[in-house]
A and B are shown apart, each in its own frame.
Chain A
């Protein structure tokens, strides 16, 4: 509030100053004789040199500001990459950044330097110089060659990143919804996903992901709406979908981003090479956690669609998987959806001791939001 008042005050001071100077100039203008009026109203005025010099000074100060701010803020640029392809894209990001920064400094320097050097001077002879085809050819080819280099490297990296996932990739079904993520794993017994169908989705009935329980592969599938675990050093294939509007899976540290589209499953595979524990040690932050965010506008709580990502050592990962309860165990009522001929097989998962109902996705989502507003204070 105070800042706003201060800003308004500054604006009004400027306005007052202008009105005063304007009045003065009008008064001055009145005292001048009409004879001085010339047809050439656009002739350079007494501020002309100041403006020309000003542009160059602006640029010099800018260079200092750019370098200074870059050094100060660099520490949070591109949060430490934790995936193999991420290191490669980061490398090419900085290569491109250096190339464009060279262009940025050279071209802007010429622009502002010429503004300074060739500010109006009565005695200057302007060079009548209309075109130079050699120059045009040079400054068409040089950017073209640089672009070609960047395109070539970019294409190579892009093709690698978007290639088919290795056959041994750990598959995870991740679904975006307003406003949260749910992940599903294929289970430890068969390691096969059960089919899903959006028509089977039923929040009230405990089947938010629309898992088809007439498919026996689904019996050991388990899901989680608060965190996703992945193994370190092993390819992970995210099978991404959305059930209401567009979402986008964004894992900043993994350099992973892919839209979640209703009706069109998408995918992204990557290899995480630093576990959560590794990163905690490396950054010296014992609280550190990987996070998954949404980067496609999806409505009111778009900014709160958070899922924790835990990167485990492979052995811990397998252990974690074993400790997870299949959907059928979590919610024995789902047994009703299983066709009679498969009920015997399914019963294996419901006969274990009943467990406390897991937080429904809604609750998790709102607790995420609750957290964020708490952090806000």
Chain B
């Protein structure tokens, strides 16, 4: 700890504080280097994208649930994507259906659940919870957001071009995505997709490197790694996953760009299309799949780990009880992170990959279920004999645990290569990942928004609206994705515009219609959240500094933390973040900055020994010769 460099001298930070008061509107709210503002920028961008992505799902769910429906009423905003047949009935264009599915996936996975979730909470919570004035590099952080913004703009523009956005599904497997002749979405839409993703990766790397650096270097006095809140552990593991896997996606995308535009044959071989044999030979479409899933699989953990981190914090606080198995939680997250890198090919059991590889990846995949199960058990034991306060955040956190269990279990079937033969690329897969990473991560994000809203905006969100939002969404998500497993077990393939051409899949119309209705209700129920969010920013009840009686450092800041987070010195940390309802303590929480010497009544024997070490912690001098 003593080697840590940080601007810690009192006068110095005061001085810096003064300087920043002069910031104009643009530097303060737009090109801001303040991690809290950047977090809010990510959050609001994420919400805007989520609305768009969810509305897209409504359109294609209508097609799947009610294939005979007259869609002419959507013509005013979908234009030529709705074609009128000779009876004047509006039909969704099948190419546009594929584009919608593709964009829904891309938007939700990358723009909402990676940027919106990690971007928001890593930025907001890392400096506040480890006790730092800001990120290691505020400038890099700003750059990360604005590159993400440009990437968003490029992706958004692609929605409006004549041939439509990318349409080869979010996994963009070549040759479909490489050949303009194969699909209109593989034309300019695909080019923009690749450009946007390349920018996104740059943004994500800038962010990730910053997060890891900040956590390693800028922890406050006494904040050893074993006193970090689980949120910070989760964000760190997530950032490491991103740093190591996103570059592989970039390389995959670059090779695809070469194949598309410069005549190389990395992924193309032996292709005859449009009455012509292409000259490309020797490439392998499977190579792309390996490269893609080398990111693609860690990506699902990039999405879920931060949500699990947020949940740990919310569940411990609102159960008024320490998180159960703090170390086990860290080890299981570390295990998940490590294993996440070596299970990617379970997405490829039936691609023609060597079956022996299939066996290896099946073994590794089922191992990853163990640390995931441990996390679930620890959450539940945290609730046991707690005193649970059901804030909206807590409800969403419990919802997450339920989704994570329910969705995770079906992964055991899909990870089994023999059983995956039948279920691969059916709705069983769709149901599985929408529960375990889609809905679970969204619930983690919502829990985070409800829980940290007071620190972000200095006001409380309305609880009653939060409850309504939770109950409609929670029930709605189960009504959408539970029956979807049935459709999958019956063999319905994914990415089908309609199934009625097949006798085998010409059933379950009622179930599909039911799912569509449930999905529409769930999507529109989010209006309650958005209303609550916007309303509370301006007119919500004024927050107190520590409204949830929580232990972590962010609640020691003023109600509206300014630039530099703490007006005076950064608090020193003496204890772990989960001293809730400690026997003997007068209150049911002891914040991390309360020394053991101040709580003799509740100290455990081994903690009394730590009192001697407090002097040492206090006397830590940071090397201020390195400027931040």
Q: Which residues does A use to contact B, with CB under 8 Å?
A: 1, 3-4, 7-8, 10-11, 14-15, 18, 21-22, 25, 29, 39-45, 47-48, 51-52, 54-55, 58, 62, 66, 69-70, 73, 76-79, 86, 88-89, 92-93, 96-97, 99-100, 103-104, 107-108, 110-112, 114-115, 118-121, 124-132, 135-136, 139-140, 143-144, 147, 150-151, 154-155, 157-159, 161-162, 178, 198-199, 201-204, 210, 240, 243-246, 248, 250, 252-253, 255-259, 261-264, 266, 287-289, 291, 293-304, 306, 368-369, 371-373, 375-377
Q: Which residues of A contact B161 (CB under 8 A)?
A: none
Interface-centre pick from B281, B384, B388, B413 (highest chain A CB count, 10 A): B388
Decide if B285 touches A297 in the complex (CB within 8 Å).
no
Task: Give the residue name and chain of the A residue nearest to B379 (CB).
Answer: A111
Decide if A41 touches B460 in the complex (CB within 8 Å).
yes
Decide if A376 touches B406 in the complex (CB within 8 Å).
no
Size class of the B contact interface (CB-based, 8 Å): 35 or more
* Complex-state Cα separation, A242 to B520, whole angstroms: 38
Which residues between 433 and 481 of chain B lie within 8 Å of chain A, taking CB atoms? 454, 460, 462-465, 467-468, 471-472, 474-475, 478
**Would A126 and B412 be within 8 Å (CB), given that A42-B548, A297-B98 are in contact?**
no
Q: Which residues of B contact A243 (CB under 8 A)?
A: 270-273
* Complex-state Cα separation, A377 to B69, whole angstroms: 11
CB of B387 within 8 A of chain A?
A: yes
* Complex-state Cα separation, A177 to B514, whole angstroms: 34
Decide if B502 touches A158 in the complex (CB within 8 Å).
no
Q: Which residues of A contact B486 (CB under 8 A)?
A: 69-70, 73, 76-77
* Complex-state Cα separation, A4 to B94, whole angstroms: 22
CB of B359 within 8 A of chain A?
A: yes
Decide if B270 touches A262 in the complex (CB within 8 Å).
yes
CB of B13 within 8 A of chain A?
A: no
**Would A291 and B502 be within 8 Å (CB), given that A111-B401, A118-B388 are in contact?**
yes
The 8 A-B pairs at the shortest CB distance, nearest first, are namely A372-B501, A263-B269, A162-B355, A266-B352, A126-B581, A51-B390, A42-B548, A41-B547
A-B contact pairs, 27 of them (CB 8 A): A73-B486, A92-B416, A100-B409, A114-B383, A118-B385, A124-B387, A125-B581, A126-B387, A128-B322, A131-B325, A131-B326, A135-B325, A135-B377, A154-B417, A158-B355, A158-B416, A198-B277, A244-B272, A245-B176, A262-B285, A263-B285, A266-B352, A297-B494, A299-B176, A301-B94, A306-B501, A375-B506
**Would A127 and B321 be within 8 Å (CB), given that A201-B277, A261-B352 are in contact?**
yes
* Complex-state Cα separation, A322 to B114, whole angstroms: 59
Q: Which residues of B contact A110 (CB under 8 A)?
A: 380
**Would A96 and B413 be within 8 Å (CB), given that A129-B321, A250-B493 are in contact?**
yes
Q: Which residues of A contact B545 (CB under 8 A)?
A: 39
Decide if A114 touches B380 in the complex (CB within 8 Å).
yes
Decide if B511 touches A41 in the complex (CB within 8 Å).
no
Q: Which residues of A contact B497 (CB under 8 A)?
A: 302-303
**Would A39 and B544 be within 8 Å (CB), given that A55-B398, A89-B422 are in contact?**
yes
* Complex-state Cα separation, A223 to B221, whole angstroms: 77
* Complex-state Cα separation, A126 to B321, whole angstroms: 7
Q: State how many angstroms separate the Cβ of B176 from the closest Cβ of chain A.
A: 4
Decide if B390 touches A119 in the complex (CB within 8 Å).
yes
Decide if B422 touches A78 in the complex (CB within 8 Å).
yes
Q: Which residues does B use to contact A, with CB under 8 Å?
A: 62, 66-70, 73, 94-95, 98, 168-169, 173, 175-176, 179, 182-183, 268-273, 275, 277, 281-286, 318-322, 324-328, 350-352, 355, 358-359, 362-363, 366-367, 369-370, 373-374, 376-377, 379-381, 383-391, 395, 398, 401-402, 405-406, 409-410, 412-413, 416-419, 421-422, 424-426, 454, 460, 462-465, 467-468, 471-472, 474-475, 478, 482-483, 486, 489-491, 493-508, 511, 517, 520-521, 524-525, 527-528, 531, 541, 543-549, 578, 580-583, 588
Q: State how many angstroms separate the Cβ of A223 from the closest Cβ of chain B.
A: 15
Task: Give the residue name and chain of the A residue nearest to B373 (CB).
Answer: A143
Decide if B175 touches A245 in the complex (CB within 8 Å).
yes
Interface-centre pick from A15, A70, A126, A288 (highest chain B CB count, 10 A): A126
Decide if B366 touches A47 in the complex (CB within 8 Å).
no
Q: State how many angstroms separate the Cβ of A213 from the closest Cβ of chain B.
A: 16
* Complex-state Cα separation, A201 to B285, whole angstroms: 20
* Complex-state Cα separation, A89 to B349, whole angstroms: 15
- Checking B272, B328, B385, B465 against A198 with a beta-carbon cut-off of 8 angstroms, the contacting residue is B272
Task: Give the residue name and chain of the B residue nearest to A156 (CB).
Answer: B418
Task: Give the residue name and chain of the B residue nearest to A43 (CB).
Answer: B389
Q: Which residues of B contact A29 (CB under 8 A)?
A: 541
Known contacts A78-B489, A118-B384, then 15 further A-B pairs from the complex at CB < 8 Å, ordered by chain A residue: A1-B69, A39-B547, A41-B454, A108-B402, A114-B388, A120-B389, A126-B319, A128-B583, A245-B175, A245-B182, A261-B351, A293-B505, A297-B98, A300-B94, A303-B94
* Complex-state Cα separation, A96 to B320, whole angstroms: 37
Task: Give the residue name and chain of the B residue nearest to A55 (CB).
Answer: B398
Task: Give the residue name and chain of the A residue nearest to B491 (CB).
Answer: A252
**Would A130 and B416 be within 8 Å (CB), given that A198-B270, A252-B491, A295-B493 are in contact?**
no
Task: Give the residue name and chain of the A residue nearest to B58 (CB).
Answer: A4
Decide if A47 touches B501 in the complex (CB within 8 Å).
no
**Would A15 and B351 be within 8 Å (CB), given that A154-B416, A204-B275, A288-B503 are in contact?**
no
Q: State how many angstroms separate the Cβ of B61 from the closest Cβ of chain A.
A: 11
Q: Which residues of B contact A126 (CB under 8 A)?
A: 319-321, 385-387, 580-581, 588
**Would A73 and B511 be within 8 Å (CB), given that A263-B269, A300-B183 are in contact?**
yes
Q: Which residues of B contact A127 (CB under 8 A)?
A: 321, 384-386
Decide if A69 touches B483 in the complex (CB within 8 Å).
yes
* Complex-state Cα separation, A347 to B352, whole angstroms: 38
* Complex-state Cα separation, A55 to B492, whole angstroms: 32
Task: Give the residue name and chain of the B residue nearest to A263 (CB).
Answer: B269
* Complex-state Cα separation, A125 to B583, whole angstroms: 9
**Would A8 and B465 be within 8 Å (CB), given that A3-B517, A42-B548 are in contact?**
no
Task: Give the residue name and chain of the B residue nearest to A45 (CB).
Answer: B463
Decide if A66 touches B482 in the complex (CB within 8 Å).
yes
Decide if B370 touches A143 in the complex (CB within 8 Å).
yes
Q: Which residues of A contact B490 (CB under 8 A)?
A: 76-79
**Would A375 and B383 be within 8 Å (CB), given that A262-B175, A297-B168 are in contact?**
no
* Complex-state Cα separation, A294 to B495, whole angstroms: 10
Decide if A15 touches B578 in the complex (CB within 8 Å).
no
**Would A42 and B531 be within 8 Å (CB), given that A111-B383, A259-B351 are in contact?**
no
Decide if B389 touches A11 in the complex (CB within 8 Å).
no
Decide if A139 touches B374 in the complex (CB within 8 Å).
yes
Q: Which residues of A contact B285 (CB under 8 A)?
A: 246, 261-264
